[in-house]
Amino acid sequence: MNPERWQRVKNLLARAVEIDPAERAAYLDDSCSGDVSLRQDVENLLLDYDAANSEFLDESDLAALASSALADHENLWIGRRVGPYQIVEQIGAGGMGEVYRAFRADDQYRKEVALKVVRAGGDSSFILSRFKTERQILATLDHPNIARLFDGGTTEEGVPYLVMELIEGQPITEYCDSHQLSLADRLALFLQVCAAVQYAHQRLIIHRDIKPGNILVTMEGVPKLLDFGIAKIVEVKPDSEISERTLTMFRLLTPQYASPEQVKGEPITTASDVYSLGVVLYELLSGCSPYPKLNSASQLAQFVCEGEPLKPSVALMEDAGRASTGTGAPGPQMANADKLARHLKGDLDNIALVALRKEPQRRYSSVEQFAEDIRRYLGNLPVVARKDTAGYRISKFLTRHKAGVAAVTAIAAILVLGFIVTVQEARIARRRFNDVRSLANSLIFDVHDSIKDLPGSTPAKKIIVERALWYLNVLAQESKGDLGLQRELASGYERLGSVQGDYLENNLGDNQGTLESYRKALELRKQIAASSPDWSDRLKMATGYRLVAHQLEGNGDHSEARDAIGRAIKISEALNNQKPNNLDILYELSFDYEVSAAVGYPGYPGDSVARERVLQDYRRALAVNEIAVRLNPDDVRTLYRYSVDLTDIGIILEASDAREALKYYERSLLIDQKVSQLSPDPRYQRSVAIDYGTIASVYDDLGDYPRAVENNMKDLEIYQDLVNKDAKNFLLRRGVAIAFMNTAASSVRTGQIALAMEYSNRGLEIMRELAATAPDKSYQQRKLAEMQVIRGIILTAANQPQAAIAEIEHARSIYESMYNAGASDQLKVAAADVKLGEAEAKAGHEQMAADHFQEALGIVRPMITKEPADLDGLYFAADAYSGLAELRMRAAQRPAETAEKRRADLTKAQAWFSDSLHTWQRIQHPYHTAPHSFQVGDPALVAKQLKMAEAAISATH
Amino acid sequence: MTDLLARWSSGDASARDALVPLVYQELRRVARKCLVGQRSDHTLQPTALVHEAYLRLCRADSMEWQNRVHFFAVASQVMRQILVDHARARTAAKRGGGVLKITFSDDLALRRKPELDVLALDEALKRLSELDARQGQIVELRFFGGLSVEETSQTLDISPATTKREWATAKVWLYRAMKRGAEI
């Protein structure tokens, strides 16, 4: 056709459709005037006119095209970075989203992974939160036949994605067929799949979507389960609005492998996976689905819930029969089918059908049992799966014909059946009971412990422990008086408590929940101890009281805590008297004393009687641990606890008697040195370093600077050694920085200015780097500011007041930016002001210096006018007063001054010195370093200066 | 953008060439925004897409109607190109094969209408344009650009009645060319 011709055809066509169909023939006769082919063209087009103008090229076509083209993530996702992953190509797609081949962009080996974008319908925030919880649980699945879940996150658009092991293989059914695997080989492969599912079930993870497409067999013949538990993440929220429709659609999507309860939307259990595995086994055995070919998903769904599948052997023969009718005579296929069917008949038929029973409780009670039955078949042992019992068939009949059967018949039948069923179920129940019990315990202890140190695993731990506890609770109610079970339950509650919020472990911050769990555990421990003759149950009761006390203390309820720990001590002391030198009892008793000290006594720490009692608790703990150490001299944990007791005593003593404290610290150092020789754990080496640092700080307090330097050097040496072994460890690097700084601070007082300059510089350098990258910004910032102040003090001593001012001013601005955070930051601002005043004075800026001292006083005055005064506040006030006094003294010494002005200056200086001295006198045990911060002046020097000022005044008269 | 459209409408062909990648990029960008993160049953509305891309690129209020018209012309062409490119890529991927793909339950059951063969449509449309360039444009605007009869008429400066008639007959020609493979 040429353009001119088309114009004519087109116009005729347009006109023809506008006129009445009955008149079209006449119109065309007329218009075509004998041109037969022209008329034929128009008539052909007329035939298609309606079709072309109804649905053809309408908006839905474009929408569908555009959606598939633009939604096709070959366009959108390929080559894209998702988190740290680079997407390479799409390898699968389905209702839940798409799967891509990807690799970690920062991995030099470019190890490939499967990245699954989860795009299910429904409430995305719900999916996200579910995704977060489940991801952590799923990440714990570590089994050679389960594709690992490596990672997960959300894209910048907020779409969740999962990163999984990339598996390249064939669906198990295809694999078996293409490799023509024998029956035994198929069963062996299937058993591997069962083992993997069983492994997950032991962790209470249900697959929910087992189907051949999720069981891939690799080239090496290894089956791998994909998408474990993923179905749960993308499952729609049950009560959301769209859910009913979507849910129905979702269920209808793949009823081929879903269990009846899944199709009906009922609760899903491990038995659902047993069912799906049953369908897979059925297909592996017979080569066809257990369901007839049906027209729609809803018919199939109905069959899943109500239809009875054929025996695999029968299905196999029927299928082979159909195949041979297609080809004609029964061929070799038919003969093979016949042979195979004879193998299936009986046991394998029964095994598959037991797994496919409609009622979850009538299937194999676990995948393990399912697998065991297959193994029994392979080993020629009698299988557990038997044909449905007569009782079962009668009950089925009764349910099917509820309306039709006379009530009388039904009742009679039930009476007869009742007895059989009860006995049967009791036996099954017993077995299930033990299964559940061992499952719950393995969850609480094995699984919990194995994920204990995983960062971020806390919510997963809680879920695991809670689920397990739920089982134990049910069991405990069923069997009151079973001591073993009650003990397990109590341990379970103790675990749960520690996950919820025990303030010493990584926890969820649920303090009230912890307390409740500990109380439940204690209640159980009390009941057990009341009916058990075993002394260890009483010891556990003491532990129960101690845990409650500890948590009460953490929650701020001191008096109840006091009561609970008192009871714990009483029980443990009594046990210790009965059975001296028992390590378990000794440990509990020393723990009790330690908690008692931590709980404290009314009036602590101000009241001296309370302080004595705390000290006494620690001394008792120490005495008990001393016995434990004697009994078990090389046990690291015992030794370590002994050394902690020594340190705790030292800390209390240090406030009043630094020399006495030093003795304890030095003993602690000796123990820690022994521990660090026994154990390679670097944490113990760190505690040796900490001991040296603590000892050094006491020497600083006492003004014994050479010893302080010596000990700081040892502290530094250990930290440097540790950092060399673990260069990226943040805490260790910070330890080095602090050790450098402390060494510098003490050496400036021994006059080693050059050393102090070098070390403070190195410490500050490390700290600057850490503060820039640290996760906890405010803490590192404070630490940095502290070091800058110390550096400033050193610079002032080194006669570089300008540089000192710059450092301290920076520190002061850091503290000031945190001014509202609390009194300790305000104090630090005051401290920085004092140090700035000293540097400005050195620089000759007297007015600036005076302003800083005044500012410091303005801050600390409210803290020291009350009782008890803030100790650090007193130190800085004393320094600020003497700083002001020194400025006046300096003014008085200027030769140009008049006698009158000089006297006024001296009088003022005398007043400031006297204020300083009075402030010093309010400090009971004055040290050379303020308790929470920097080095300070010396009251003896102030007293001397006061005398000088007084002498100068009398000289003017 | 406005400048390019103005230059194009005054007959500068190079302006059109410069416009295409811009529009292409914007359409993809808007589409990505719509689709990524949406529910999987979300259906893309191409018309809305074109309008949004237009708004983004031209800041409509300052635009002459003439520019708008030209924009839609470009956008329709670009949309056609995107769909054809994609269909080609997909066919190529199928042929490439080889890699074992993870199979998933497909959601075909939910799709009512078989997808239009856009490559066949493109071929047929090319031939139609040779026969009747204006009809080719109408199909491009109406179908690929998602423009209404009125918008199409204004774009091409013809009456709505003509647009309707040309659109109807063009569809019949295309239908026959595609469905029956008839040589007409």
Q: How far apart are CA A350 and CA A363, in angstroms?
A: 11
Residues for chain B: how many in total?
Answer: 184
Q: Over the stretch B126-162, which tens digit does the pLDDT of each residue have?
A: 999 999 999 999 999 888 887 888 888 888 889 999 9
pLDDT value of position B22: 67
User: How confident is residue B97, by pLDDT bands cut at 50, 70 and 90?
Assistant: very low
In which band, very low, low, confident or very high, does the pLDDT at A450 lie, cut at 50, 70 and 90? very low
Among A766, A383, A296, A44, smallest CA distance to B173 is for A44
Partners of residue A14 in chain B, C-beta under 8 Å: 165, 168-169
DSSP-based three-state secondary structure for A516: helix
Which of these ranges, A413-417, A793-797, A880-884, B25-29, has the smallest mean pLDDT?
Answer: A413-417
> Is a pLDDT exceeding 60 seen at residue A761?
yes
Say what the pLDDT of residue A882 is. Answer: 95
CA neighbours closer than 13 Å in the CB half-sphere of residue A705: 15
- State the helix-helix crossing angle for B13-35 and A59-71, rounded to 10 degrees: 80
Token pair of A635 as six digits: 């046990």
**Three-state SS annotation for A423-450:** HHHHHHHHHHHHHHHHHHHHHHHHHHHH
The mean-pLDDT minimum among A42-46, A565-569, A706-710 falls in A42-46
| Chain A from 73 to 132: CB within 8 A of any B CB | 74-76, 91-97, 99, 114, 119-122, 124
Give the separation between CA A722 and CA A715, rounded to whole angstroms. Answer: 11
pLDDT at B171: 93
Q: Whole-angstrom Cα distance, residue A345 to residue A354? A: 14
pLDDT at A666: 95
Per-residue pLDDT band at A845 (split at 50, 70, 90): very high
How many CB atoms neighbour CB A149 within 10 A?
24
Percent of residues, chain B, with pLDDT higher than 70: 43
Amino acid B109: pLDDT: 30
Non-local (6+) Cβ contacts of A635 within 8 A are: A628, A629
In A328-406, alpha helices (H):
332-344, 347-355, 367-378, 390-400
pLDDT above 90 for A457 = no
pLDDT (0 to 100) of residue A421: 34
Angle at which helices A347-355 and A270-286 cross, to 10°: 140
- C-alpha distance from residue A233 to each of A208, A209, A581 (Å): 11, 12, 54
Return the higher-pLDDT residue of A578 and B32: A578
What predicted TM-score, i.e. pTM, was given to this entire model?
0.46
- The dihedral of CA A789, A793, A794, A795: what is its sign? positive
The two three-digit tokens of residue A581, written as one number = 């030198």
- pLDDT tier, A719 (very low <50, low <70, confident <90, very high otherwise): very high
Phi/psi for A701 (5° steps) reads -55, -40
Q: Distance between CA A590 and CA A586 in Å, rounded?
A: 6
Given a cut of 80, whether residue A701 has pLDDT beyond it is yes
Q: What is the largest CA-CA distance in chain B?
A: 54
The answer to whether residue A430 scores a pLDDT higher than 80 is no
Quick: pLDDT tens for A724-737.
887 777 778 888 99
Largest CA distance in chain A: 146
Q: Which of A54, A59, A62 to mutate to test the interface with B (most CBs of B within 10 A)?
A: A62
Alpha-carbon distance values, A497 to A112, A502, A518, A680, A913 (Å): 41, 6, 6, 31, 57
What is the C-alpha to C-alpha distance for residues A53 and A59, in angstroms, rounded to an integer?
12
Query: Are the beta carbons of A117 and A100 closer than 8 angstroms?
Result: yes
Residues in chain B within 8 Å Cβ distance of A75: 28, 86
Residue A450, chain B, CB below 8 Å: the answer is no
Share the mean pLDDT of chain A.
80
So what's the pLDDT on residue A871? 86
CA A28 vs CA A14, A46, A216, A439, B128: distances in Å? 12, 11, 65, 85, 23
Task: Give me the pLDDT at residue A122, please.
Answer: 45
How confident is the model over A399-423, as pLDDT tens digits? Answer: 444 333 333 333 333 333 333 333 3
Question: Which has more pLDDT, B109 or A74?
Answer: A74
What does the pLDDT look like over A631-660, one tens digit per residue? 988 888 889 889 989 998 998 898 788 899
pLDDT for A181-209, tens place per residue?
A: 999 999 999 999 999 998 888 777 788 88
Give the C-alpha separation, A572 to A541, whole Å. Answer: 9
In this predicted model, which residue has the larger pLDDT, A597 or B31? A597
Instruction: Provide the pLDDT for residue A250.
Output: 40
Angle at B66 between CA B62 and CA B71, to 5 degrees: 85
Q: Does A423 touch chain B (CB under 8 A)?
A: no
A833: number of Cβ within 10 Å: 27
Residue range A908-925, pLDDT digits in tens:
999 999 999 999 999 888
Nearest by CB to B103, which of A17, A92, A168? Answer: A92
The answer to whether the CB atoms of A45 and B90 lie below 8 A apart is no
Convert the pLDDT of each residue in A919-953 to its tens digit: 999 988 888 887 766 888 889 999 999 999 999 88
Q: What's the rounded Cα separation, in Å, for the pair A303 and A343?
A: 27
Give the tens place of pLDDT for each residue, A224-248: 998 876 666 655 444 433 333 333 3
Q: Which residue in A209, A227, A592, A672 is the catalytic one?
A: A209
Q: Which residues contact A811 (CB under 8 A, 6 or more apart)?
A: A784, A785, A786, A788, A789, A792, A832
What's the confidence (pLDDT) of residue A869? 84
- In b/e form, how buried is each residue of A760-779, taking b as 16+ CB within 10 angstroms? bebbbebbeebbeebeeeee
The share of chain A scoring above pLDDT 90, in percent, equals: 34
Residues A939 and A683: their CA atoms lie apart, in Å, by 39
Nearby residues of A578 by Cβ (< 8 Å), 6 or more positions away: A535
A20-45 in b/e form (b: 16+ CB < 10 A) is: eeeebeebbeebbeeeeebbebbbbb
Mean pLDDT of A807-828: 79
Range list of β-strands (E), A75-188: 81-82, 85-94, 97-104, 112-118, 149-154, 160-165, 169-171
Distance CA B114, CA B108 (A): 10
Q: Do the Cβ atoms of B104 and A213 come within 8 Å?
A: yes
* Residue B37: band (very low, low, confident or very high) from pLDDT cuts 50, 70, 90: very low
Specify the pLDDT at position A94. Answer: 54
Compute φ and ψ for A387, nearest 5 degrees.
Answer: -60, 155
Tokens coding A639 = 């030794």
- Which SS3 state, helix, strand or coil, does residue A99 take? strand
Instruction: State the Cα–Cα distance between residues B139 and B154, nearest whole angstrom.
Output: 14
Give me the count of residues in chain A.
Answer: 957
Residue A148 binned pLDDT confidence (cut-offs 50, 70, 90): confident
DSSP H helices, A579-632, are 583-599, 608-631
Q: Which two tokens stand for residue A870?
A: 């803030």
Interval A851-855 mean pLDDT? 94
pLDDT higher at A147 or B72: A147
Chain A's closest residue to B37, CA to CA, is A159
pLDDT over 70 (residue A10): yes
A557, pLDDT greater than 80: yes
For the residues A459-468, what does the mean pLDDT come to? 61
Nearest CB among A61, A157, A158 relative to B116 is that of A61
Q: Given this model, what pLDDT does residue A244 score?
A: 38
> Which residue bears the tokens 């150490």?
A629
Comparing CA positions, the residue from B82, B80, B75, B71 lying closest to residue B8 is B71
Residue A543, beta-bridge partner list:
none
Q: Nearest chain A residue to B183 by CA: give it.
A: A1
First to last CA, chain A: 131
Contact flag B32-A76 (C-beta cutoff 8 Å)? yes
Higher pLDDT, A425 or A215: A215
Residue A28 tokens read as 């065309």
In chain B, whose CA is at the least distance from the CA of A10?
B169
Q: Is the pLDDT of residue A375 over 50?
A: yes
Could you please report the per-residue DSSP string of chain B? -HHHHHHHHTT-HHHHHHHHHHHHHHHHHHHHHHHTTS-TT----HHHHHHHHHHHHH-GGG--HHHHHHHHHHHHHHHHHHHHHHHHHHHHHHHH--SPPPP----GGG--SPPP-HHHHHHHHHHHHHH-HHHHHHHIIIIIS---HHHHHHHHT--HHHHHHHHHHHHHHHHIIIII----
Q: Which whole number is the average pLDDT over A338-354?
A: 87
pLDDT tops 80 at residue A805: yes
Angle at A188 between CA A186 and CA A193, to 5 degrees: 95
Do A92 and B104 make contact, defined as CB atoms within 8 angstroms? yes
Whether the predicted pLDDT of A275 surpasses 90: yes
- The secondary structure element, H or E, covering residue A225 is strand A223-225
Which pLDDT value is given to residue A50? 87
Residue ranges of A 227-266 with Cβ closer than 8 A to chain B: 249, 252-254
The pLDDT-based confidence of A716 (bands split at 50, 70, 90) is: very high
Domain boundaries, chain B: 2-183
Q: Does the annotation mark A209 as catalytic?
A: yes
pLDDT at residue number A493: 83
Please tell me the predicted confidence (pLDDT) of residue B40: 36
- How far apart are the C-alpha atoms of A63 and B116, rounded to whole Å? 11
Lowest mean pLDDT among A436-440, A770-774, A794-798, A833-837: A436-440
Q: What is the pLDDT of residue A69?
A: 60
Name the least confident of A642-651, B12-21, B109-118, B165-174. Answer: B109-118
As a whole number of angstroms, the distance between CA A857 and CA A877 comes to: 6
Q: Does A170 touch chain B (CB under 8 A)?
A: yes
Is the complex ipTM higher than 0.95? no
Residue environment code for A193-211, b if the CB has 16+ CB neighbours within 10 A, otherwise e = bbbbbbbbbbbbbbbbbbb
Tell me if residue A217 falls in helix, strand or coil.
strand
DSSP A821: G
Task: Please state which of the ranges A122-136, A409-423, A453-467 shows the lowest mean pLDDT.
Answer: A409-423
Residue A484 binned pLDDT confidence (cut-offs 50, 70, 90):
confident
Cα A844 to Cα A541: distance, rounded to the nearest angstrom: 69
d(CA A249, CA A95): 10
